[in-house]
Structure 1
Amino acid sequence: MVSVSPPFRRLLLAVVVALLTVPTLSSCVGARPSHSVDLVPFTSDGCSLFPDGTFADRDRWCDCCQTHDIAYWQGGSADDRVRADEALRSCVQERTGDADLAETMYLGVRVGGHPAFPTWYRWGYGWPYGRGYEPLSKREKRQVEKQLSAYAKGHPQGYCVERNGEP
């Protein structure tokens, strides 16, 4: 079981407080262009800025993060994001039995993954910056399916296995 130390909890709380400026940042995000844009190919880095597992089992919850990356890459509504973040928390909890770890990861993605942040791991990172929370159209859903199919063909083992050089 992985436990979270009190200093780490204080650090996480400080990060949460510092990032409460998200609503202000959201108002600065420009409107989405009216012309049609294409989705960039899917990429995953596992648990962005967080370990993919323990020292003993380095990929213990990595696939939870790759599934979460798929949701973040394609984006969608604010409710879609909540469901993706809750699914990550549940997956990590199931893998580890550690509610504190699962909750820490959940809080991290809730704060750090807002679409207003110009990061590679923000909500909707497969679309140009500024999309925000917007449900996917039928055309966009077809793009998602096509890109995920191409990713699966090129990466049949997925990120977590490939990064370790496993067959």
Structure 2
Amino acid sequence: MKVLLILICAISATATAAELKPFTTDGCSLFPDGDTKDHVKWMECCIRHDYAYWKGGSENERILADGQLQRCVADLGEENLSYIMHLGVQLGGAPYFPTWYRWGYGWPYMRGYKELSGAEKAQVKTRIIQLNELLTEFLTEEK
């Protein structure tokens, strides 16, 4: 009986929560993914940053994600560029802009800064599992 109650609560909490769209990334949104010698030099940094922006969360989580992007690019020997990129995401990534790259872009528009609930964290986990399964299937078919 107790398990049934927990299951009903979990289902109803998920039903009332907004639905998280599947993860998408465009690399370094409106910015080159690399330089003329290495066209994808800092693209992995941007994809990791996109993951944080997709799932969103609190304002402090955004500050942390932007700092991680800056450090990642600086660690590739692009310290000056890392400051420019940091400034760009700070200016353009607010959750209040109706853009595809805003903070929390995986959720419906106007979510703002808000920590993820347990149900929302479960949605993030589910979407990542689905993405991993899709990638595994794709890579298996490629062989």
Give yes or no for TM over 0.5: yes
Select which of 74, 95, 111 maps to 1:115.
95
> Which amino acid letter does the alignment assign opposite residue 113 of structure 2?
Y
Residue pairs, 1:14-53, within 5 angstroms: 35-53=16-34
Q: TM-score, normalised by structure 1?
A: 0.71
Q: CA RMSD in A?
A: 1.7
User: Is structure 2 residue 132 aligned with structure 1 residue 152?
Assistant: yes
Q: How far apart in 1 are the matches of 2:78 and 2:48?
A: 19
Residues 1:142 and 2:122 aligned together: yes
In structure 2, stretches of 5+ residues that fail to align are: 1-15, 137-142
Q: Report the AA paired with residue 49 of structure 1.
A: L
Instruction: State which structure, 1 or 2, has the greater radius of gyration over its C-alpha atoms.
Output: 2
Q: Displacement, 1:99?
A: 1.5
SS at match of 1:116: coil
Quick check: which one's helix share is greater? 2
> In the aligned structure 1, how far is the partner of 2:52 from the partner of 2:37?
28
**TM-score after normalising by structure 2:** 0.82
2:12 aligned residue: none
Distance apart, 1:126 and its partner CA: 0.3
Percent identity of paired positions between Structure 1 and Structure 2: 51
Question: How many angstroms apart in 2 are the aligned matches of 1:99 and 1:77?
Answer: 27
Give the CA deviation at 1:91.
0.3
Code of the aligned partner of 2:93:
G
Number of equivalenced pairs: 124
